[in-house]
Amino acid sequence: MASATDRNIDQSLADIREVAGRQLPGLTPAPVDAAAMVRFSPDLPARLEEDQAAALVAEAAKLEPWLQGPFFLGGDLVIGGTWRTDQRWVGLGAQVPESLAGMRVLDIGSNAGYDCFMFKHRGAEYVLGCEPHGFIAQARFLESIYKSGADFRQIGWQQLSPTEHGQFDLVHCNGVLYHEPNPVLTLQALRRMLRPGGLLVLGTMTLADVELSELARFVPDTYFGDPSWWWVPGRMCVRWMLEATGFVVEYEFGHHPGPPGEFQLTNCYFRAVAGEANRHLGGPTGLPE
């Protein structure tokens, strides 16, 4: 009999398939050169037996849609991934230390785990991947193959506690902020998880119009066919929220157009270090210590 967690994952994936079907009709991942891909495990076989390959393909198919990727599974078997996360890492990789040896890394909204696997690939001592939705099943499927040591938990930022989980040298959060009804509370929680002197790398959708840079647009209905969008801030607005919640913003990077919709978006990263929060803002309430 399926557990309540299994049923929640199944329902979450069903909801994701519905949204992805509206957003990406007929879109398939671009071809990937397996020889050029990052290997998330040194032990992947150069050749897969026919029954092994068939079993992996069947399991991966059950977990569709695969938005992150590509993931090399061995032989000539590759899970493509619509978002082509490897291309995002062309820019992101230059902003993350080449060696993460001895470092603790927190990834919030880890989806299928590509970023977590990259952090482990760069030698991070401990990686905690937080994914509250059905994509956690994809991450755990891949971890069963890669055995990277990444710790995947089906939790959101609301359940993170510096007492329970410790603090981290690097916090990575991409594609989360505009899905949150309370983005300032989200950023306060991220700051609590970052050790003094630690690094935050925050990726989010922002308003493309520079004249609206100081504002945030409330989208309580849907944007891009996705009812989970709430706020889309301008880039200056993001900076101000980061500064108010205890970060020192160093710079932005990785700008590229966001998905089509009723107004134009820019997707970009903000690199920031731990600083002091605005004393008038107050601490986050309702969050675990």
The CATH code of the domain that includes 238 is: 3.40.50.150
Residue 19, in any domain of the structure: no
Residue 28, in any domain of the structure: no
| Residue 161 scores a pLDDT above 60 | yes
Cα separation, 28 vs 25, in Å, equals 9
Cα separation, 235 vs 177, in Å, equals 13
Q: Is 197 exposed, middle or buried (0-12, 13-18, 19+ CB in 10 A)?
A: exposed
| pLDDT tier at 26, thresholds 50, 70, 90 | very low
Predicted local confidence at residue 226, as pLDDT: 86
Asked if 273 and 199 touch (Cβ cutoff 8 Å), the reply is: yes
Residue 175, in any domain of the structure: yes
Domain count, the chain: 1
Residue 16, in any domain of the structure: no
Question: What global pTM score does this model have?
Answer: 0.89
Tokens 């100081």: give the residue.
Answer: 214
Residue 191, in any domain of the structure: yes
| Residue 30 scores a pLDDT above 70 | no
Q: Residues 27, 29, 30, CA angle at the centre, nearest 5°?
A: 115
Residue 287, in any domain of the structure: no
Q: Which domain holds residue 173?
A: 97-274
Predicted local confidence at residue 264, as pLDDT: 96
| pLDDT tier at 280, thresholds 50, 70, 90 | confident
Asked if 234 and 179 touch (Cβ cutoff 8 Å), the reply is: no
> What number of other Cβ atoms are within 10 A of residue 26's Cβ?
5
State which H helix or E strand residue 269 sits in. Answer: strand 265-274
Asked if 199 and 171 touch (Cβ cutoff 8 Å), the reply is: yes
Residue 83, in any domain of the structure: no
Q: What sections of the chain are H helices per DSSP?
A: 4-23, 50-62, 85-92, 114-121, 136-146, 162-165, 183-193, 235-244
| pLDDT tens per residue, range 82-113 | 889 999 999 999 999 999 999 999 999 999 99
Question: Which tokens is 3 given?
Answer: 């557990």
Residue 82, in any domain of the structure: no
| Residue 191 scores a pLDDT above 50 | yes
Residue 76 is classified by DSSP as T
